[in-house]
């Protein structure tokens, strides 16, 4: 383990383990439906540079704002994926007004939701983190925090929660099932160096993409891209890791300036690989996406979500994909295929909607500011656990949602559902 450079911090008081503590769901739900008690105009302390801060204004982030202690400053959401701002290669595809604010328009353009957001300003003790991410204490000792932390607030994580996740990837234990002193040490933020990122990714066996995007949120796309390339070049040591690195690199490249992106693509094209190898396939999808998609029509959607100006081909790929399996595509597809694809996606959702997927899609969908948003959200709803977040979100954006609610008035059942479910009934 690398030496951790830490700031002086006070260790949290000793608390019960998750197995000993039981936080009632009703208490969390009551908090969620109340008006946020944060101090107006004040934001929590955060080491994130201003240009990397972004508020999705989604159901998830609006709910998180209600969970801070009364009178406390508002939480800060950030990701180093925004390091290069408008200079990022993916920024050329930015659609103004797609999201609730310009910074979020940019994040969608460069790859949201294939990224993590770090949350500063919420309680950072072991029990404080669990109160937000696991209020019912459902996580068991054998379960990974890496996976469990994404059920309630997908791709959102507190700063200490993030470092606890990295620790779990690098060690055999779930830090939330260690003593308080051990948890404090395992979750202490430190300056991540290139060798740390390389070591963590080499040993990551599950959810490789989550760990990549989490590292990127903390240290930026340049260092992460370089680490992924190193793993690809070392493919003879571990082929599966190299394939995972090539797969996730496609998203990270969107965050780099065009010149840096081109240098990496050119380097990958020089690799001497057997054409029928899995790694060669992943690299072709990254370096020549349109040609690869045309040669692999059943899988072209996964590639074309990163290619601007290919909306029709992406939509065609999605239609071909759903003939073979009643599975969910990624929310990112909507950015590639637009409203027609969103309608198809909602239809698919009815066939495949476990609770963790419902939460993920509701949270990501609600960061979009699109005319079809409200009916799409209603199509995806039916999960009582999602209602508190949707209620807070709807009150936040009531003025913007009102015209769409009026359009829904011709469908009495849908309009009533919207008014009641989203807390807009008079």
Instruction: State pTM to two decimals.
Output: 0.83
Outline where 48-155 has alpha helix (H): 59-65, 102-109, 126-133, 145-148
Residue labelled with tokens 């793993």: 231
Distance of CA 282 to the CA centre of its chain: 22
Report residue 242 as tokens: 């190299």
Q: What is the mean pLDDT of residues 164-168?
A: 92
Contact 159, 189 (CB under 8 A): yes
> Which segment, 13-17, 62-66, 151-155, 286-290, is predicted with the most confidence on average?
62-66
pLDDT tens for residues 106-140?
Answer: 999 999 989 999 999 999 999 999 999 988 888 87
Report residue 63 as tokens: 């709910």
What is the domain partition of the chain in residue ranges?
288-426
pLDDT tens for residues 364-413?
Answer: 888 988 766 776 676 665 566 777 888 888 888 888 887 777 777 666 66
pLDDT, residue 280, reads 85
Cis status of the peptide bond prior to 113, with omega within 30 of 0: yes
Grade residue 317 by pLDDT with cuts at 50, 70 and 90.
low
Grade residue 424 by pLDDT with cuts at 50, 70 and 90.
low
CA distance 127 to 146: 17
């Amino acid at each position: 383990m690398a030496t951790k450079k830490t700031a002086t911090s006070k260790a949290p008081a000793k608390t019960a383990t998750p197995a000993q503590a039981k936080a009632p769901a009703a208490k969390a739900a009551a908090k969620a439906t109340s008006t946020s008690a944060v101090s107006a105009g004040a934001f929590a302390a955060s080491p994130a540079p201003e240009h990397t801060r972004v508020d999705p204004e989604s159901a998830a982030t609006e709910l998180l704002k209600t969970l801070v202690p009364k009178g406390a400053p508002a939480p800060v959401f950030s990701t180093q994926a925004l390091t290069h701002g408008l200079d990022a290669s993916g920024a050329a595809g930015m659609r103004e007004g797609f999201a609730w604010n310009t910074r979020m328009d940019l994040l969608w353009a460069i790859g949201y939701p294939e990224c993590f957001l770090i949350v500063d300003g919420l309680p950072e003790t072991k029990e404080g983190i669990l109160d937000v991410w696991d209020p019912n204490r459902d996580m068991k000792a054998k379960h990974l925090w890496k996976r469990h932390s994404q059920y309630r607030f997908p791709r959102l994580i507190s700063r200490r929660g993030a470092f606890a996740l990295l620790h779990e990837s690098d060690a055999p234990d779930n830090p939330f099932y260690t003593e308080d002193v051990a948890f404090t040490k395992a979750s202490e933020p430190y300056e991540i160096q290139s060798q740390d990122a390389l070591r963590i990714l080499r040993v990551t066996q599950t959810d490789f993409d989550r760990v990549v995007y989490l590292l990127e949120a903390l240290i930026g796309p340049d260092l992460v891209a370089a680490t992924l390339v190193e793993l690809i070049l070392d493919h003879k040591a571990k082929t599966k890791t190299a394939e995972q690195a090539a797969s996730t690199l496609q998203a990270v490249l969107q965050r780099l300036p065009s010149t840096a992106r081109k240098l990496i693509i050119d380097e990958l094209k020089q690799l001497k690989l057997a054409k029928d190898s899995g790694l060669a396939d992943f690299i072709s999808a990254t370096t020549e996406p349109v040609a690869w998609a045309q040669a692999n029509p059943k899988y072209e959607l996964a590639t074309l979500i990163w290619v601007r100006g290919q909306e029709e081909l992406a939509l065609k790929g999605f239609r071909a994909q759903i003939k073979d399996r009643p599975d969910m595509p990624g929310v990112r597809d909507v950015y590639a295929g637009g409203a027609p694809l969103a309608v198809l996606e909602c239809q698919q959702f009815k066939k495949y909607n476990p609770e963790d997927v419902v939460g993920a899609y509701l949270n990501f969908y609600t960061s979009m500011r699109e005319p079809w948003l409200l009916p799409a959200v209603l199509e995806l709803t039916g999960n009582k656990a999602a209602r508190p977040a949707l209620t807070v979100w709807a009150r936040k954006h009531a003025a913007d949602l009102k015209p769409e609610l009026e359009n829904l008035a011709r469908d009495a059942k849908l309009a009533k559902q919207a008014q009641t479910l989203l807390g807009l009934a008079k």
